[in-house]
Amino acid sequence: MEASARTRHARELFAPLGPTYDRYARLLSFGQDPRWRSFLVSRVPADAHRVLDVASGTAAVAIELARAEADRTIVGVDQSFEMLAAGRERVAHANLGDRIELREGRAEVLPFGDAEFDAVTFTYLLRYVDDVPATLRELARLVQPGGTLAMLEFGLPRGGWRPLWELYVRVGLPTAGALVSPGWGGVGRFLGPSIRDFWRHWPEPRLLDAWREAGIDDVQARRMSVGGGIVVWGRRA
């Protein structure tokens, strides 16, 4: 299956940012991105010994998953060779190369057998796929019955926080990104419209229904940081 224009754009946008991604993702999210990742990892049970991390990028989630349980192994998959290169450096620096394997691949078509993993995590993924229900079915296919799927995504704050969010993504984020580099300036301009567009098409109730229709039970969601992030998790039926 050929990558769509949406997928190619995401790959090209983030490809040059691997060496600086974690530092500036933390800075531009006011330190919230690591907090959201930690909560995501906390949704994965201790007895999930083999975990697939999709949209693994620089392996931040994969490393945290490995540190959470000493006998856990992780396979990280990402479409960006450049981001994975930065991830491999981080994995080596953390001395986790024997427990974390990083592979290039796309979430829509993953080269693994049915029920091969105890859990699947994915971060900032669904905004970049053309068929959300099909991607969720593909991810659920890989998890053993009763195993966990957990996702982290940017959210849209509600109420009085929404105007402040809009001001930040329309003005603050593009400006701050441009001060870092032209590449980060592009990301700053891209994120606000990307997040709005996703939630316009996939409001939270519809998205949670898509999880259930993909064969995932006990679906739960936690809005983080006044709604700037959201973690969703459930069990493979």
Fold of domain 5-157+203-236: Rossmann fold (3.40.50)
Q: How far is residue 78's CA from residue 81's CA, in Å, rounded to a whole number?
A: 8
Domain locations in the chain?
5-157+203-236
Lowest mean pLDDT among 10-19, 202-211, 227-236: 10-19
Q: SS3 for 235?
A: strand
Q: What is the pLDDT of residue 29?
A: 86
Single-letter residue type at 50: R
Helix pair 21-28, 32-42: axis angle to 10 deg: 100
Angle at the Cα of 204 from the Cα atoms of 203 and 208, rounded to 5 degrees: 120
Between the alpha carbon of residue 16 and those of residues 63, 160, 201, the distances in Å are 21, 35, 29
Please state the pTM of the whole predicted model. Answer: 0.92
Residue 182: pLDDT band by 50, 70, 90 thresholds?
confident
Query: Residue 159 in contact with residue 233, Cβ under 8 Å?
Result: no
Q: 100-104 and 73-78: which strand pairing? A: parallel
pLDDT in tens, 113-157: 999 999 999 999 999 999 999 999 999 999 999 999 999 999 999
Lowest mean pLDDT among 16-20, 26-30, 125-129: 16-20
pLDDT in tens, 49-99: 999 999 999 999 999 999 999 999 999 999 999 899 999 999 999 999 999
Q: What is the DSSP string of 12-53?
A: HHHGGGGGGHHHHHHHHTTTHHHHHHHHHHHTS-TT--EEEE
